[in-house]
Amino acid sequence: MIRRKAMIGVATAVLALAGAPALAAPAKPFTPKRTSWGDPDLRGTWPLDSVGQTPLQRPERFGDRARLTDAEFEAARKAAAYQAAGYEREEKAGKLGVAHWSERGQPLRQTSLIVEPANGRLPPMTAEGKARAANMRSSWSQKVFDSLDDFNSLDRCITRGMPASMTPFPYNNGVRIWQSPGYVAIQLELIHETRIVPLDGRPALPGQMTTWLGSSRGHFEGNTLVIETANFNGQAPMVIVGPGNQPVPTSRSMRIVERLTPTGPDTLQYEARVEDPEVLTGPWKMSFPWTRNDGYQIFEYACHEGNVQVGDYIRSTSPRFAGRGKGAAGAAK
């Protein structure tokens, strides 16, 4: 799906927020509006492209330094502006390229979205984690595809998984929060999912019941929405695999605690603490601001229309189909 989204109206707020200290607390706690049933009102659209130029993991050259210098921040802003103008450059050149897809937004002062450990990077993997990672496959790692096992959950248009679904992506970054008495729903534009979070104190699901996004239970601590999620199926990557990210697996032991704290009329601080003792040697935490932009339009995510691409990858690369004509390939559908 190729389309362009307007960023007008959010840029000023994003740049102001980006120039603030990475985790600075407001001078005094912000008091948000309340819903008609009394909960803090978090409803609205919070697209993550507002922080899309800040990497999840800190580049190693920064070490434990959590913030960019003034010069580094200015350079990052200029790079973001040049990238944002790519759409217009392609239009003038009569080309259709990656800029028609990208929605990477602005940089933060933070050198990474991960704030713990101090180096801003994922903890080392356990021996079990390394063994699982060595067997992870995706469209980034494979050139020959023999079966569905050669594609990860994003390739197959199932899910980005958790916590990856709550981090920026090059496109389709819409996140929308809905509320009703006893529930919060978090709608994700990328792969058309909605996380349902009960607030009524119900017990967790039995341990043997697992899902792609886990099972969430929430409650408010003051104005902060706290979401505790477990019961993952361990089949989705922890971070999205690509040129900048190596495969990191998940297991059924993963636990995530998220905290959404309003900091202003159109801002909140998002935190997520992730632990998975089967695959990582320690927990990690990411923390970054969200900016409300109710003018952002969420589109249908037509991942691969007609649901034919995965099969076409297999038929066009697997030795099992070598030398077969169109009739044989079609018969294998």
d(CA 125, CA 297): 38
The mean pLDDT of 116-132, rounded to a whole number, is 97
The mean pLDDT of 67-92, rounded to a whole number, is 94
d(CA 27, CA 15): 19
Going by C-alpha positions, the residue among 248, 240, 252 that lies closest to residue 278 is: 252
Q: What is the pLDDT of residues 21-77, one digit of tens each?
A: 444 444 678 999 999 999 999 999 999 988 989 999 999 999 999 999 999 999 999
Decide: 288 and 168 in contact? Cβ < 8 Å.
no
Please report the pLDDT score of residue 244 as a whole number: 63
Please report the pLDDT score of residue 106 as a whole number: 87
Q: What is the pLDDT of residues 191-220, one digit of tens each?
A: 889 999 999 999 999 989 999 999 999 999
Percentage of residues of the chain with pLDDT beyond 70: 87
Is pLDDT at 163 greater than 70 in this prediction? yes
Q: Which of 26-30, 124-128, 186-190 has the lowest mean pLDDT?
A: 26-30
Please report the pLDDT score of residue 34 as a whole number: 98
Going by C-alpha positions, the residue among 314, 315, 316 that lies closest to residue 150 is: 314
Is pLDDT at 15 greater than 50 in this prediction? no
pTM for this predicted structure:
0.86
Per-residue pLDDT band at 328 (split at 50, 70, 90): very low
Is pLDDT at 233 greater than 80 in this prediction? yes
Percentage of residues of the chain with pLDDT beyond 90: 68
Return the exposure string of 126-149: e unless at least 16 CB atoms fall within 10 Å of the residue's CB, then b.
beebeebbeeebbbeeeeebeeee
Is pLDDT at 256 greater than 60 in this prediction? yes
Is pLDDT at 278 greater than 50 in this prediction? yes
Please report the pLDDT score of residue 306 as a whole number: 73
Going by C-alpha positions, the residue among 23, 40, 324, 63 that lies closest to residue 199 is: 40
The mean pLDDT of 104-133, rounded to a whole number, is 95
The mean pLDDT of 170-177, rounded to a whole number, is 92
Per-residue pLDDT band at 324 (split at 50, 70, 90): low
Mean pLDDT of the chain: 88
| Per-residue tokens: 295 | 């003018």
The mean pLDDT of 168-182, rounded to a whole number, is 94
| Per-residue tokens: 316 | 């066009």
Tokens 């989204």 correspond to 5
The mean pLDDT of 225-234, rounded to a whole number, is 98
Per-residue pLDDT band at 246 (split at 50, 70, 90): confident
Please report the pLDDT score of residue 130 as a whole number: 96
Is pLDDT at 318 greater than 70 in this prediction? yes
Is pLDDT at 297 greater than 50 in this prediction? yes
Please report the pLDDT score of residue 300 as a whole number: 85
Please report the pLDDT score of residue 14 as a whole number: 41
